[in-house]
Structure 1
Amino acid sequence: MVGVSAVATLSLGVGAAAGSRLMSPEDAAAKTAPPKASQITVPVEKKALSSKVVARGDTSFDGAVNVRIETSSLKTPAVVTGKVPKVGSTIQEGKVLLEIAGRPVIGLAGVLPMYRSLAPGSKGPDVLQLEQTLDRLGYDPGTVDTKYDSSTARAVEELYEAAGYEAPEPDEQLSQAVEGADKGVDAAKNALRQAQAALKQAKAGPGKGDTSVQQGAVDDAEENLADAQEALNEAQFKAGTPLPVAEVVFIKTLPRRVDDVKVERGGTVNGVVMSASGASLVVTVKVDAATKERLKAGMPASLDLGDGTLVPATVRRITRTADQFDVVVAPKSLTAAQLERLREANVKVTIPVKSTSGKVLAVPVAALSAGSDGGSRVEVLRDGKVELIPVTVGLSADGYAQVTPSGDAQLTEGDQVVVGR
C-alpha cells in the first residue's frame, strides 16, 4: 500500500512539473511580444549656430592675360635678344619683361593698351594713363593731365634709367630740325651783332647824323633772333624723349605670374609673347543656383590646408558658367610655403552664410513637427507625460534648429524633447 502511495505522489509531482511548463498561445504571445515603445529624447541645448557652405575647389592664379607687343613701328626685325622670363617668374611694374632688338619692353599697369608711340606734343587718354603710372612709380611727370610735355619726357627718361637702359632717341628728322634751328639762332645772333655794330658806328660818326636806318636794322635783328629762339625751343620740345609703342606694354594689373612663354632668344615676335596670370592665388568653387543665392561677394571664408591650418579668405566674385556658378575665393595672405603648397591643389573651402548672435535654444531638426495649424512644435517629456510646445524656428545648421517658445509656452535648456520612438 505504501508503494502505491509513493508512486501516486511521484506521479503527481511529475504532472505538476510538466504542467508548469505548459502555457496557452495567448500567454506565449504575450511573453514573446516586444516591449512597449518608449520615447527617445534629447535635451534642449543652448548653443551658437552657424550655417555655412562647404565645398572643394581648385586653385589657380587669378586673371590670366595674353601679353602682346606692338612691333609694327620697328625699323628692324622684331628679334628677341634677351630678358626672356621663366615660367613661374613675376612681372613687376616698371621692370623689363622682354628685350627686342636690343631694346627693353617695360611692363606697366593700365587698362588702356599701348596702341601708338607717344612723344612731346601728344595728347589723349593714353597720355593721362602714362602720367598717372609715372606719378605712382615716383617719376614726376609734372601736372598729371592729357598732355605729353617736357616734364613727361623727363619722367620717361627716369623710368628707363631705373630699368637699366638708355632712354629712346627721337626721330632723326626731329634731331636734324634742332640742329637747323640752332644754326638759325647762331645766324640771327651774328646778324644782331652786325646791326648793333653798324648802329654804334653811325652814332660815333661826324655830325651825329640820322641813325634811324641802323636802329631799324637792330630792331629787325632782335625780332629775328626772338623768332629763331622760339623755333629752337619748339624743335627741342618736339625732340624730347619719346615713348615708342614697341617698348612698353600695359597690363590691367601688376604684379602677375608668368604662366607660359611663347618666344625664345633669337626668335621673332609674332603675336602673343607670353601669358600671365595674377600673382594672387585664388580658389574657384562651383555651386548650383540655389547655393549661389546664399552667397555674395565680400563674404568671409576660410581655406583648409589639410593639416588643421585654416587660412582666412574672402569671396572675391561670383560668375555664371553654363548651368553653374563659379565662386572665386581669395586668401587674405599666404606665406611662401603655403603658396607653394596650394599651387594646383584641390582645397576645402568653408563660407559661413549666417550665424546666431551668441548662444540660443536649439533642438535637433528631428524634434520638430508640424501642428494642425501649420506651425512648428516640439514634444517635451515632463513627469512621464508628453507636452506639445509651439515654437518659432530660426536658423538651421549642422542638424540643429534655433527655437523660441511661442506665446506663454515654456521651453528651457535641459528640457527633454522627443526625437523618436
Structure 2
Amino acid sequence: MTTSPKSRRRVLVSVSAVAAVSLGVGVAAGSRIASPEDAAAKTAPPKASQITVPVEKKALASKVVGRGDASFDGAVNIRVETSGLHTPAVVTGKVPAVGSTITEGKALLEITGRPVIGLAGVLPMYRSLSPGSKGPDVLQLEQTLDRLGLDPGTVDDEYDTDTSQAVERLYEKAGYDAPEPDEQLSQAVDNAKKQVDAAKNQLRQAKSQLKAAKDAKAKDTSVQQGAVDDAEENLADAQEAENEAEFKAGTPLPVSEIVYVKTLPRRVDDVKVERGGTVNGVVMSASGAALVVTVKVDAETAARLKAGMAASLDLGDDGTTVAAKVRRITKNGDTYDVVVAPNALTASQLALLRDANVRVTIPVKSTAGKVLAVPVAALSSGSDGASRIEVLRNGQVELVPVKVGLSADGFVQVTPSGDAKLSEGDQVVVGK
C-alpha cells in the first residue's frame, strides 16, 4: 500500500509530539527522584551554633529573702509566789489591760492590798528576804537595786542595813509603804530597848553609890567601883542586843511582792486573773515590748547568717521598707528561727506590722563596687578542676581560665587568671 507524502508528514509530527511529551514527563519525574544521601542531607537539622551573652560589669549582692510573722518578742508566763501569805491571795487591784506595758520597778498587780513589783532578773523569787539573808538571790536583788540607782551599798550576797534602806526606796519609788518586819522582830526591838534603859538605870545607880562612897571618904570603894564596871558591861551587852534586834527588824522583802522577769519592759499579752479573784499559778503572760519578725530557714541558710546583720522589712506594695537587724538565730526542730527586729518604728508602721506576715531581706555579701560578671551557666571546669569560660572571638571559641568570686541572682563574679584577657562586652558561651 502506497502512502502519500502528506500522510507521512502527519505521522512524523505525531511521533515528535509524543516524544516531546514523553521527554517532559520523564524530566519532571526525574526531578522528583532523589538518592538516600540527598534526602538525608535535606532533612538533617542545621549545624549547632553557640548561644552567647556579653560579659557584664555590675555590682553583685547575695541575700536571703523570706517571709515571716511579726510578733512581740519572747512571750513568758508570769507567776507570783504566794506561799508566804497568811491570808488568801485575793487580787485587789492594778489588774493590767492586754497591750499595756510592764515597767521595771512598778507594780504589775496588787494582791491583798500589797503591790507585786516587777524587776528584771534571771533567778525567780523563791523565798522572802530579810536582813541576815545570804545567797545568789540577794546578789541579784542588790545588782537590780544598784542598776535602778537606789544605792544598796556594797553589792554582794549579804542582805544588810544598806540593802534594807534601798528596798525602802524601791517601794517609795513605786508609790507604796515598805513592808513591815515580822511582829516578833518588832517586839524583840522593844524588849531590847527596855533592857538598855534598865542597864542605863543600873549604871546611874552604881555611879551614884560610888560617888557617895568617895564623898564619904571611904577608904575602900572597890565594891562600888566593881558595881559600876559590871553595870557598864551590862549596858554594852544590852546595846549590842538592841543593835542586833534592830538589824533583824530592818525592811524585809516578801516573796509575794516581787516578780523577776528576764527582761523589762514587756507587753501584756494575756491576763489570767481578775479583781476579786484568787491567784493560782500564772497571773499573766507577757512578751517583749519590741516587735520582731521571725523567719524560718533551713540549716544551710542559717549557716550564712549571724546576729547583728543588717536587714530590711517590706511594709507593703508601695515599696516602703524599714531598716532592721538580725537579733538572734535559734534552732527549732529541723529548721531555724531567724528573729529580725526593726531599728525604729513610727506609730503607723507599728500598726502595719502588728500580726502581719512580711517580706524580709537580709544581705549576706556584696562586691566592692562593679565587677566582671557572667551567668553561672557560662562556667565549666577543666581537667585540673579550675574554672573557665568560653569566649567567642572572631568566630573562634577561646577557653579563658577564671577565678570565681561572689555568686548572686544567677550571676557570678569572674577574674581572668594569669595572662588571660577578659573585658566587658566579650561574648561568653552559655549554651549551644
TM over 0.5: yes
Shift of 1:258: 0.8
Structure 1 stretches of 4+ with a deviation exceeding 6 A read 23-37
Aligned length: 402
Stretch deviating more after TM superposition (36-45 or 49-58): 36-45
Structure 2 unaligned spans of 5+: 1-26
Matched, 1:284 2:297: no
Aligned to 1:235: 245
For residues 140 and 215 of structure 2, the distance between their equivalents in structure 1, rounded to whole angstroms, comes to 62
Shift of 1:344: 1.0
The two structures have a TM-score, normalised by structure 2, of 0.86
Aligned to 1:252: 262
1:148 pairs with one of 151, 155, 159: 159
Shift of 1:37: 6.3
Deviation string for 1:203-233 (max 9, x for gaps)? 112x433222111111111111111111111
Amino acid at match of 2:309: M
For residues 394 and 184 of structure 1, the distance between their equivalents in structure 2, rounded to whole angstroms, comes to 88
Aligned to 2:201: 190
Stretch deviating more after TM superposition (379-388 or 86-95): 379-388
2:114 pairs with one of 103, 124, 127: 103
For residues 238 and 218 of structure 1, the distance between their equivalents in structure 2, rounded to whole angstroms, comes to 30
2:390 pairs with one of 357, 379, 389: 379
For residues 268 and 25 of structure 1, the distance between their equivalents in structure 2, rounded to whole angstroms, comes to 106
Structure 2 vs 1, CA of residues 25 and 171 (structure 1 numbering), >3 Å: closer, same or farther?
farther
For residues 25 and 191 of structure 1, the distance between their equivalents in structure 2, rounded to whole angstroms, comes to 150
- Provide the secondary structure at the position in 2 that maps to 1:74: coil
2:277 pairs with one of 264, 267, 275: 267
Matched, 1:295 2:302: no
Aligned to 2:4: none
Amino acid at match of 1:252: K
For residues 283 and 82 of structure 2, the distance between their equivalents in structure 1, rounded to whole angstroms, comes to 12
1:126 pairs with one of 118, 121, 137: 137
Shift of 1:33: 10
The two structures have a TM-score, normalised by structure 1, of 0.88
Shift of 1:157: 0.4
For residues 293 and 175 of structure 1, the distance between their equivalents in structure 2, rounded to whole angstroms, comes to 62
Deviation string for 1:253-285 (max 9, x for gaps)? 111111110000000000000011111222111
Amino acid at match of 2:194: K
1:393-408 → structure 2 map (5 Å cutoff): 393-408=404-419
Aligned to 1:12: none
Aligned to 2:186: 175
1:6-405 → structure 2 map (5 Å cutoff): 39-205=50-216, 207-306=217-316, 307-371=318-382, 374-405=385-416
Deviation string for 1:127-185 (max 9, x for gaps)? 11100000000101111111111110000000000000000000000000011111111
For residues 53 and 70 of structure 2, the distance between their equivalents in structure 1, rounded to whole angstroms, comes to 42
Amino acid at match of 2:132: G
For residues 187 and 117 of structure 1, the distance between their equivalents in structure 2, rounded to whole angstroms, comes to 34
For residues 289 and 344 of structure 2, the distance between their equivalents in structure 1, rounded to whole angstroms, comes to 12
Shift of 1:109: 0.5
For residues 220 and 238 of structure 2, the distance between their equivalents in structure 1, rounded to whole angstroms, comes to 29
Shift of 1:322: 2.4
For residues 81 and 351 of structure 2, the distance between their equivalents in structure 1, rounded to whole angstroms, comes to 34
For residues 398 and 212 of structure 2, the distance between their equivalents in structure 1, rounded to whole angstroms, comes to 130
Amino acid at match of 1:411: L
Shift of 1:251: 0.8
Shift of 1:247: 0.4
- Provide the secondary structure at the position in 2 that maps to 1:227: helix
Aligned to 2:13: none
Shift of 1:419: 3.3
Aligned to 1:414: 425
Stretch deviating more after TM superposition (130-139 or 40-49): 40-49
Deviation string for 1:267-321 (max 9, x for gaps)? 0000000011111222111112222232233332222222323323222222222
Stretch deviating more after TM superposition (337-346 or 103-112): 337-346
Shift of 1:372: 5.4
RMSD: 2.6
Shift of 1:24: 6.5
Structure ID, larger Rg:
2
Amino acid at match of 1:317: R
Amino acid at match of 2:61: S
For residues 162 and 296 of structure 1, the distance between their equivalents in structure 2, rounded to whole angstroms, comes to 40
For residues 385 and 194 of structure 2, the distance between their equivalents in structure 1, rounded to whole angstroms, comes to 100
For residues 97 and 113 of structure 2, the distance between their equivalents in structure 1, rounded to whole angstroms, comes to 19
Shift of 1:34: 8.9
Deviation string for 1:95-147 (max 9, x for gaps)? 10000000000000110111110011111111111000000001011111111
